[in-house]
Structure 1
Amino acid sequence: MLNERQDEVVRAITDDGSFRVVALRTTDTVKAIVAAQRVKGDEARWLGELVTGTIMVRETMAPDLRVQGVLQSAVGRDALIADSHPDGGARALVQRTRGGTLVLGDGAVLQVTRTLPRGSAHKGVVRITGSGGVSASLMAYLQESEQVASAIAVCTVMDGDEVVAAGGYLVQLLPELGEGQLAVMTARLEDFPPMSTFLKDDATTPQTLLAELLYLMPYTVVGSGAVRYQCRCDSQRLRATLSTLPPAELESLIAEGKDLEIECDYCHVEYRFPVSELKTLLAVD
């Protein structure tokens, strides 16, 4: 298993300008997210891989922007949602319908959204085909929506229902790529061990994974940063949201005569607003 105590992402570019490579460890982040969402089995594995992949897309395409990845089930309206922020914080959400089951494969959809500086959004959607899983879906998204050819491997190693390790890599082809370099990398990736093999090895770090991918290829590390689980909820944000409610809605809540309880869907922390505070918000409004 990756033995760095802190989750981390490392970005590098080969000195000849052929490849951009991102390697990352997300073990602790995924463990915390899976625990917060109370998921097990395939849902936990897919959620972990979506979180890792969303971080990876942000790091390679939009390091300074928020990126959200959504996996929509092939059946029903169940979905997995992952958020990655420029400060390294990540969180995720499982949306379930009553009696619903998340199904990946033919008919499922991957949607990736980048939030642009002025609040607008760049959105790309691809349909999932076959059984390539999250890795293949991310490659299809980059190819179809961003016109970027990449090789991606994301993985969540499970022991029963417990997350053991998580991480992945991305190799992006750059404009300076020549036929010789492409042939070398193609052969290397064809023989490259599964990502799970590296995740189970205590000696593996994002840096050693990078060195394996770019063996005998001179490269320069161009960036790195910590990754962590971080929910964005807090009482001040919820209070600000409540203050935007129409007076009639606030009056209705006050008339019920009991504290307003709100639970965050991402982290399940519960916030309580007493009637006196609701009356204050109404008076300010």
Structure 2
Amino acid sequence: MDKIVKGLSNDHNIKITITDATNLLNEIIKLHETNPLATIALARTTMATILIGSDMKEESDKITSILNGKGPIGTIMAEYTGHKVRAFCANPQFSLEEIDRDHDVISQVVGTKGYLQVIKDLGMKEPFTGKIKLISGEINLDFTYYLVQSEQIKSLIACSVKLNKDNTIEKAVGLYAQLLPEHQEEDIDYLEGKVENLGSITEKLIESDDLKNIFHLIDPACKIYEPEEIKFSCSCSFEKALESVKLLGEEQINEVLENNSEVEIVCDFCRTKYLISSDDIKKLMIS
């Protein structure tokens, strides 16, 4: 079962959330036929989105992360709402030959010249939107930096992925540690010390067979709560696909109507294909 597990360190005023998203990420990468490096980048972005979204209170609340560093993978988008997850990347099969294996590969895949944008729709008049320039492109540090800059939360995001020889995911685990509002100066020093050991934490995320051990990396006395199940699910529908026809140019719509033909709409997230007939478009225009 894919899950989110939350914990609380009373000694250091730190809230800890861990996700194991191995199964749902395997569903996503199978749909998009990602190459190995695209798999890692897409998985890290998706887990970071799940972790930040785990703070939302209502099932209808939604968080969307958009990452574009001008790298070969193009735009990565992940969405989390009501314990349901979906994600995609623009170029899942970019050429691996352009990646220099002697340097940080994920930073090259994502790029470092773009941005990370996080949109939270909490059912208010307008969604909250935060946007930062990427500082590394390796994703973990970028989400950590986003939380500090846009939400003023001292935090640590660490997401790690291990692949099988057939390029499926053997394990995908992420950790989110954040200081509570009542934190003290020594709690900041404590968490910053953990941030400095980010590399070793990401290794232990994969090595550990028990999520409790990961909580104890932050605080051995951490209180751990019951897990919450998460799953891959796409909210696309024929009705939404039909509405998207409005985004087509007038010339293209008229061509479909004149030829009595169809428009194929493909969902970016789940690759479901919807065939919109000229009759469907006529009904849409009338309504």
Deviation larger for 70-79 or 158-167: 70-79
**2:12 paired with 1:22:** no
Return the offset for 1:198.
Answer: 3.2
Pick closer, same or farther for the CA change 1:242–1:70 going to 2, 3 Å.
closer
Higher relative contact order (CA 8 A, sep 6+): 1
Return the offset for 1:185.
Answer: 5.2
Measure, in 2, the Cα distance between the counterparts of 1:67 and 1:99.
Answer: 27
Which residue number corresponds to residue 159 of structure 2?
A: 154
Return the offset for 1:225.
Answer: 2.1
Contact 2:73 2:110 in 1 (8 A): no
**2:147 paired with 1:142:** yes
User: Aligned-residue CA RMSD in angstroms?
Assistant: 3.3
User: 2:168 corresponds to which letter in structure 1?
Assistant: E
Measure, in 1, the Cα distance between the counterparts of 2:175 and 2:93.
Answer: 35
Measure, in 1, the Cα distance between the counterparts of 2:37 and 2:272.
Answer: 25
Pick closer, same or farther for the CA change 1:200–1:76 going to 2, 3 Å.
closer
Which residue number corresponds to residue 47 of structure 2?
A: 52
Which residue number corresponds to residue 178 of structure 1?
A: 184
Alignment of 1:206-217 (within 5 A): 207-217=212-222
Contact 1:66 1:115 in 2 (8 A): yes
TM-score, normalising length: structure 1: 0.80
Contact 1:14 1:220 in 2 (8 A): no
Contact 2:85 2:230 in 1 (8 A): yes
Which residue number corresponds to residue 3 of structure 1?
A: none
Return the offset for 1:167.
Answer: 1.5
Which residue number corresponds to residue 260 of structure 2?
A: 257
User: 1:52 corresponds to which letter in structure 2?
Assistant: M
The DSSP-based 3-state class of the residue aligned with 2:241 is helix
The number of aligned residues is 272
The superposition leaves residues 161-182 of structure 1 with CA deviations (integer Å, 9 ceiling, x where unpaired) of 3222111111111233335555
Pick closer, same or farther for the CA change 1:191–1:271 going to 2, 3 Å.
closer
The DSSP-based 3-state class of the residue aligned with 1:11 is strand
| Counterpart pick for 1:195 among 187, 202, 216 | 202
Measure, in 2, the Cα distance between the counterparts of 1:45 and 1:98.
Answer: 13
Deviation larger for 105-114 or 172-181: 172-181
The DSSP-based 3-state class of the residue aligned with 2:54 is helix
Measure, in 2, the Cα distance between the counterparts of 1:157 and 1:63.
Answer: 31
Deviation larger for 186-195 or 133-142: 186-195
User: 1:258 corresponds to which letter in structure 2?
Assistant: S
Pick closer, same or farther for the CA change 1:16–1:109 going to 2, 3 Å.
same
Pick closer, same or farther for the CA change 1:191–1:121 going to 2, 3 Å.
closer
Which residue number corresponds to residue 129 of structure 1?
A: 135
Contact 1:15 1:220 in 2 (8 A): no
Measure, in 2, the Cα distance between the counterparts of 1:99 and 1:59.
Answer: 31
Which residue number corresponds to residue 35 of structure 2?
A: 40
Deviation larger for 237-246 or 255-264: 237-246
Measure, in 2, the Cα distance between the counterparts of 1:200 and 1:155.
Answer: 10
**2:242 paired with 1:239:** yes
Measure, in 1, the Cα distance between the counterparts of 2:248 and 2:126.
Answer: 24
Contact 2:114 2:133 in 1 (8 A): yes
**2:67 paired with 1:71:** yes
Alignment of 1:106-125 (within 5 A): 106-118=112-124, 120-125=126-131
Contact 1:156 1:196 in 2 (8 A): no
Measure, in 1, the Cα distance between the counterparts of 2:111 and 2:145.
Answer: 13
Contact 1:157 1:196 in 2 (8 A): no
Measure, in 2, the Cα distance between the counterparts of 1:122 and 1:93.
Answer: 22
